[in-house]
């Protein structure tokens, strides 16, 4: 079952990063919705594994290959979805995952029927330009560093809080973990799309087991609060450094959200 969980984890990432890579807003939005369904599959699968007295981890083998067109991305996704079908359990959850995947495959087939959808993918071109705006090189460098660091942080938090949520019986903890997962999903989406716009889209590095197998919850939360406070400082520095009003306001917005994350984490203490 852990192998099935690993492949579902990889499929979630494959769909999620496909949504970041595609420029077409309609396709991007639909793929992101499907990625959230895949993440719920992960949650339900993890719950079933724990109920069976087994365990799962966040190991993964996937790489994010650089694709040049929408159809290349879609074809790779179709293959990933097809390959996982034989691993699903033969129960109600397995049937749910199969029927969800069947509809996703149908949607992908519809995309490929229209050659107009086969647009160029620029998410991996390494151009590091912010649209038509002429940001100074030091601003682009600061933005690049921020996005790589923060996209990993949000990916890490999604998985860590989901791992803890699956193991708590405390309703307050469960709800706080859910809020933090949802918030980190939004931040990862924002940062992933920004990385794609710059042409530097890449997977966050894999989590080490000790990242999410938490022995001391209080210390973990205290460390998490310190990490959020560091992220607030980075957001403020980036907002001040980037001479673009739209981007500066976005990072102020993220900064204020991090403030509330700290309050949520204090509830856990």
Given this chain, do its domains 1-121 and 126-269 carry the same CATH topology?
yes
Q: What is the pLDDT of residue 13?
A: 98
Per the model's pLDDT, the better-predicted residue between 102 and 248 turns out to be 102
Q: Which two tokens stand for residue 70?
A: 């929408």
Does 16 have pLDDT greater than 90?
yes
Greater confidence (228 vs 178) lies with 178
- Reported as a single tens digit per residue, the pLDDT across 70-120 is 999 999 999 999 999 999 999 999 999 999 999 999 999 999 999 999 999
pLDDT of residue 235: 81
Q: Does 243 have pLDDT greater than 90? A: no
Question: Average pLDDT in the 231-247 region?
Answer: 82
pLDDT of residue 234: 82
DSSP-based three-state secondary structure for 123 = coil
Model's pTM, two decimal places?
A: 0.94
Band of the pLDDT at 188, cuts 50, 70, 90?
very high
Nearest by Cα to 76 from 64, 87, 86: 64
Percent of the chain with pLDDT over 70: 100
Instruction: Judge whether residue 199 has pLDDT over 90.
Output: yes
How far, in Å, CA of 222 to CA of 212, rounded?
Answer: 15
Query: Does the structure show a pLDDT above 90 at 216?
Result: no
Could you tell me the sign of the dihedral formed by the alpha carbons of 96, 98, 101, 107, in that order? negative
Instruction: Work out the average pLDDT over 122-140.
Output: 89
Encode 27-48: b = buried (16+ Cβ within 10 Å), e = exposed.
bbebbbebbbbbbebbeebbeb
Q: How far is CA 21 from CA 164, 213, 232, in A?
A: 30, 31, 27
Locate the domains of the chain by residue range.
1-121, 126-269
Q: Of 61, 43, 54, which Cα lies nearest the Cα of 2?
A: 54
DSSP summary character for residue 249: H
- DSSP class per residue in 214-225: -S-HHHHHHHHH
Q: Tell whether domain 1-121 is in CATH 1.20.140.
A: no
Instruction: Say if CB 188 and CB 179 are below 8 A apart.
Output: no
For residue 133, the cross-strand partners are 130
Q: Is the pLDDT of residue 201 over 90?
A: yes
> Confidence class of residue 269 from pLDDT cuts 50, 70 and 90?
confident
The position carrying tokens 């022995």 is 215
pLDDT digits (tens, 9 = 90+) for 39-77: 999 999 999 999 999 999 999 999 999 999 999 999 999
Task: State the fold for domain 126-269.
Answer: Ferritin (1.20.1260)
The per-residue pLDDT for range 154-181, each reduced to its tens digit, is 999 999 999 999 999 999 999 999 999 9
Instruction: Find the helix or strand (DSSP H, E) in which 95 lies.
Output: helix 92-112
């Amino acid at each position: 079952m852990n192998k099935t969980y690993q492949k579902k984890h990889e499929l979630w990432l494959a769909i999620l990063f496909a949504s970041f890579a595609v420029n077409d807003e309609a396709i991007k939005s639909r793929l992101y919705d499907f990625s959230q369904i895949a993440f719920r599959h992960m949650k339900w699968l993890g719950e079933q594994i724990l109920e069976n007295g087994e365990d799962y981890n966040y190991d993964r083998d996937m790489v994010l290959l650089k694709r040049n067109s929408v159809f290349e991305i879609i074809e790779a996704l179709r293959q990933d979805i097809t390959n996982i079908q034989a691993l699903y359990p033969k129960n109600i959850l397995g049937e749910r995952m199969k029927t969800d995947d069947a509809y996703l495959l149908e949607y992908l087939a519809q995309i490929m029927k229209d050659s107009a959808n086969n647009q160029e993918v620029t998410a991996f071109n390494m151009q590091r330009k912010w649209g038509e705006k002429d940001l100074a090189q030091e601003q682009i460098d600061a933005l690049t560093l921020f996005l790589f660091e923060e996209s990993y942080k949000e990916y890490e938090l999604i998985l860590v809080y989901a791992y803890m949520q699956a193991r708590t019986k405390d309703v307050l903890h469960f709800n706080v973990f859910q809020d933090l997962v949802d918030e980190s999903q939004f931040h990862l989406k924002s940062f992933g799309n920004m990385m794609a716009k710059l042409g530097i889209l890449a997977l966050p590095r894999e989590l080490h087991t000790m990242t999410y197998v938490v022995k001391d919850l209080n210390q973990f939360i205290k460390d998490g609060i310190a990490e959020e406070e560091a992220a607030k400082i980075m957001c403020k520095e980036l907002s001040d450094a980037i001479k673009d009003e739209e981007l500066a306001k976005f990072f102020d917005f993220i900064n204020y959200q991090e403030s509330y994350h700290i309050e949520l984490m204090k509830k856990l203490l």
